[in-house]
Amino acid sequence: MPLTDRDRALLDFEAQWWAAQWRGHAGAKEEAIRAGLGLSPARYYQLLGRLIDTTDAQQHDPMLVKRLRRLRDARVHERSVRAAR
């Protein structure tokens, strides 16, 4: 299923946000999500989490999707390690 305009907006927002962090313009991401995308942060992360598992997202921005998957996998692993203690 091809990416929707909203899907592209989510990926583009995340890519721009990541670049802004490295330039020292981090700010309040939650406020930027609400203002820029009209979504609650929880909904944004739900949609983004599903989106990065799609082939179309991978083709749209492979480096971003790979990084987001790697970060998600690291968080899941860390949670499982803490739960096992």
Q: Are 65 and 52 in contact (CB under 8 A)?
A: yes
Contacts 24+ apart (CB under 8 A), 29-32: none
Burial class (CB in 10 A: 0-12, 13-18, 19+), 36: middle
| CA-derived radius of gyration, the chain | 14
> One digit per residue, pLDDT tens: the chain, 85 residues?
799 999 999 999 999 887 776 555 555 788 889 999 999 999 999 999 999 999 999 999 999 999 999 999 999 999 999 999 8
